[in-house]
Structure 1
């Protein structure tokens, strides 16, 4: 497949390397010459210019690309590039950085194929490493929805239940089930839930605490703290993370793509 990546900062360059390692053709667009030089040094096909300009994207091969990843630190550049790519029937992936609030997500999510927030994904990985063991966040589907994998423990109230007897909160849905270390699969009603089994659940942040208590056996206080509720609402926690992530750092300085 052919990909155009806009932005040669850390996010763009790492994404390009992964795609190339898998055998895909990748062209990188970057306006900042020193940043672009890093991509050239790694032998990528590059185009120097503003990624929000149609002529630059045409030079990069957008007319023949399967997908465009607008991965700069500038939301306006990313959105404009995706709108141009849509005109050429490319799949579009847009990075957002400024904040991870529902209003911003909804504003853009319907107009591109995928919205990503790299800092949030990195935070999920760090959280999993810190928590360890029985709970693993897989992805944020939207600002208030998360997919988590939970491992049943001896302390779980549902230990010994069958899938048909499992009643999750209204804003949580069971997606997959795995016996011990076995493969995840679509659950059937007669499967028993035992210590070491894994359940993948899609849940609203507001009910994550209840889900953790039910499937892992955490105390209400610990479940609330780990799920990001308790004294602060999920929305407040997301907003505070977004505010800290939006502060200038080395990456935002280098991920220019379309602006100096």
Structure 2
């Protein structure tokens, strides 16, 4: 895939390195001369330009990108980049970084954002996950489908211990996508047993999260 990243700061460069390891074609767009460091990631294509300018995106060949990642430290810039990528160049997938959680409500389809990634929210979710065993924790919002990635760790006294995945009576707008057990990542199959301490990852719409919680606690 060809992936454009707006913002070549520490976050943008880290993303670029990961994507290059996956054999993707990466373009880094940076407007600051100080952060424009092609030698730091020679495997990527670099462009010194303002990603908020339509002419710059045209020159970058944005229309040929499969994914655009707005990763600058300015939420206003990330919103403008997302909107231009989606509306002017019909980029299939737009991912935007949210720097201030108070701005998260803006990062929706209306601004061209398919997936909004809020670092403060994710860090808070990790803390909640560590201390609130048995509680449903929202890890990420997937804007395009108005769904969330949520996690719950089964407590030691879980009523689901020994039950099988097929026994989970989940609502129609929810799906169990992975089980984390120790150092293993398990793709759930119908006959897989559940154990105390399992971390269950679900993709679900917001309005069924309470139903998932009820299932986990044996109330449904």
Length-normalised TM-score, structure 2? 0.69
Distance 2:19 2:62 in 1: 16
Structure holding more strand per residue: 2
- Residue by residue over 1:75-124, the C-alpha shift from the partner in whole angstroms, topping out at 9 and shown as x without a partner, is 22222222322222223222222225674344746x33222223323444
TM-fit CA distance, 1:146: 4.5
Change (3 A) 1:176 1:116: closer
**In the TM superposition, what is the alpha-carbon distance from 1:26 to its structure 2 partner?**
1.3
CA offsets 1:15-46 (integer angstroms, 9 cap, x no match): 11111121122111111111113x44332422
Q: Does residue 41 of structure 1 match 2:40?
A: yes
Distance between the aligned counterparts of 2:131 and 2:123, measured in 1? Answer: 14
Mapping 1:33-182, distance limit 5 Å: 33-37=33-37, 39-43=38-42, 44-86=44-86, 87-91=88-92, 92-100=94-102, 103-106=105-108, 108=110, 111-125=112-126, 127-128=128-129, 130-131=130-131, 139-141=139-141, 145-151=148-154, 153=156, 155-161=157-163, 173=174, 175-176=176-177
> Superposition RMSD on alpha carbons, in Å?
4.1
| Aligned-residue offset at 1:5 | 0.8
TM-score by length of 1: 0.60
Change over 3 Å in CA distance of 1:118–1:61 after alignment to 2:
farther
Between structures 1 and 2, the one with greater helix share: 1
Instruction: Answer yes or no: is the 8 Å Cα contact 1:47–1:59 preserved in 2.
Output: no
Distance 1:173 1:22, change over 3 A: closer
CA distance in structure 1 between the aligned counterparts of 2:50 and 2:180, rounded to whole angstroms? 51
Of residues 177, 183, 187 in structure 1, which corresponds to 2:186?
Answer: 183
Post-superposition Cα deviations, 1:131-171, rounded to whole Å, max 9, x if no partner, equal 49888968323699541143463x12344556676567x79
Give the direction of change, closer, same or farther, for the CA distance of 1:35–1:97 in structure 2 (3 Å limit).
Answer: same
* Structure-to-structure mapping, 1:222-237, within 5 angstroms: none
- Structure 1 unaligned runs (5+)? 216-260
Check 1:85–1:68 CA distance in 2 against 1; reply closer, same or farther (3 A cut): same
Bigger radius of gyration among the two: 1
Q: How many residues get paired? A: 208
Could you tell me how far apart the structure 2 residues matched to 1:214 and 1:24 are? Answer: 42
**3-state secondary structure, aligned to 2:106:** helix
Q: Does the 8 Å CA contact 1:94/1:114 hold for their aligned counterparts?
A: yes
Residue 204 of structure 1: how far off its partner (Å): 5.1
Instruction: Give the Cα separation in 2 of the matches to 1:127 and 1:179.
Output: 17
Shift in Å at residue 183 of structure 1?
3.1
Gaps of 5+ in 2: none
